[in-house]
């Protein structure tokens, strides 16, 4: 039988083992409303359930900022970047870092948390971790507001480069989604992967230049340091937000970009390869 014999209905679907779905990206686009509504659900539920929800989003970064400023700025007397006050520099680095860590932790449990959906309805599964990442954007907006008030408090004025910030927000989302997709998919098969997340988040906070400027890393280590994709992202954020002579090393930044792209490719590929069996495993 050929598709031509079907009267008037162009939509033909063939289900076969191992058949890579050719219409995957088209399907993903067709399900954009589901993506939007799931993201809206996650945000609505989060801020409906807890009064503390908003307060928590303010307290956590503020306290971290204070601690980093005291430990790295006052005790270790590390230099700030571009003449910015130390707290502002720390906060500018924390913005992408918290975006990264929230996306990672929200996404990794999202499929298991939505097991009832996965077992009962078809849709491209990529929607679930992606929509849970939307919650992180709301937290990001709150953090950004804190940063703005911090800058007003210090009377610190950003340069024109802050106009490029949206591009770096997108970059940090991409940097987060790659590992997030990978760990989400692995977590369905091997539930122990959820124990890795707190470790990555805690460890990464100190390995990435959040509490200090990446400028203090010595020249011949910088190459290896930039293999951490968050290094490029955080540098980019500081470059946008902190004016003056805050600088960005282009080769290292490109290297970070490459790592981000590699992780994204790996995450999406692995996710797509395993997603057909999610319903059987979950």
Residue 115 near residue 81 (C-beta atoms within 8 A): no
Instruction: Give Cα 115 to chain centroid, integer Å.
Output: 22
Q: Is 29 in the site for other proteins (CB under 8 A)?
A: no
Q: Choose among 190, 179, 199, 201: nearest CA to 271.
A: 179
Candidates 28, 54, 115, 117: give the one binding other proteins (CB under 8 A): 117
Q: Is 277 in the site for other proteins (CB under 8 A)?
A: yes
x/- binding map, residues 55-94, to other proteins, per CB under 8 A?
A: ----------------------------------------
Q: Choose among 88, 134, 96, 68: nearest CA to 233.
A: 96
Q: Is 218 in the site for other proteins (CB under 8 A)?
A: no
Residue 233 near residue 177 (C-beta atoms within 8 A): no
Q: Is 50 in the site for other proteins (CB under 8 A)?
A: no
In the complex with other proteins, the residue whose CB is nearer, 122 or 154, is: 122
In the complex with other proteins, the residue whose CB is nearer, 115 or 248, is: 115
Q: How far is the CB of 185 from other proteins (least distance, A)?
A: 10
Burial string for 63-98 (b: 16+ CB within 10 Å, else e) reads ebbeebbeebbeeeebebbbebbbbbbbbbbbbbbb
Backbone angles phi, psi at 92, to 5 degrees: -60, -30
In the complex with other proteins, the residue whose CB is nearer, 122 or 153, is: 122
Q: How far is the CB of 71 from other proteins (least distance, A)?
A: 39
Rounded to whole angstroms, what are the CA distances from 168 to 25, 82, 132, 165? 24, 19, 20, 5
| Residues of span 120-139 touching other proteins by CB under 8 A | 120-123
In the complex with other proteins, the residue whose CB is nearer, 127 or 231, is: 127
- Contact residues for other proteins, defined by CB under 8 A: 1, 3, 5-7, 9, 11-19, 33-34, 37-38, 41, 44-45, 48-49, 114, 116-123, 189-190, 273-274, 276-277, 279-281
């Amino acid at each position: 039988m050929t598709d031509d014999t079907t009267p008037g209905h162009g939509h033909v679907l063939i289900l076969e083992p191992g058949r890579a779905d050719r219409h995957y990206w088209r399907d993903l686009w067709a399900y954009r409303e589901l993506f939007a509504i799931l993201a809206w659900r996650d945000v609505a539920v989060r801020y409906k359930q807890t009064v503390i929800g908003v307060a928590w989003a303010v307290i956590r970064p503020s306290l971290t900022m204070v601690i980093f400023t005291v430990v790295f700025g006052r005790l270790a007397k590390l230099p700030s970047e571009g003449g910015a006050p130390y707290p502002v520099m720390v906060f500018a680095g924390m913005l992408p870092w918290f975006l990264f860590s929230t996306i990672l932790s929200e996404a990794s449990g999202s499929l298991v948390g939505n097991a009832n959906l996965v077992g009962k309805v078809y849709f491209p599964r990529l929607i679930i971790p992606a929509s849970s990442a939307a919650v992180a954007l709301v937290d990001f907006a709150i953090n950004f507001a804190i940063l703005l008030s911090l800058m007003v408090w210090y009377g610190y004025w950003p340069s024109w480069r802050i106009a490029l910030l949206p591009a770096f927000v997108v970059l940090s989302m991409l940097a987060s989604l790659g590992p997030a997709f990978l760990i989400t998919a692995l977590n369905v098969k091997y539930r122990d992967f959820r124990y890795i997340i707190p470790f990555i988040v805690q460890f990464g906070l100190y390995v990435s230049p959040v509490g200090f400027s990446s400028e203090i890393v010595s020249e011949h280590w910088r190459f290896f340091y930039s293999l951490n994709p968050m290094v490029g992202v955080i540098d980019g954020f500081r470059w946008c937000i902190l004016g003056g002579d805050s600088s960005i090393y282009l080769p290292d930044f490109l290297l970070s970009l490459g790592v981000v792209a590699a992780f994204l490719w790996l995450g999406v590929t692995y996710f797509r390869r395993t997603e057909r069996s999610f319903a059987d495993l979950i």
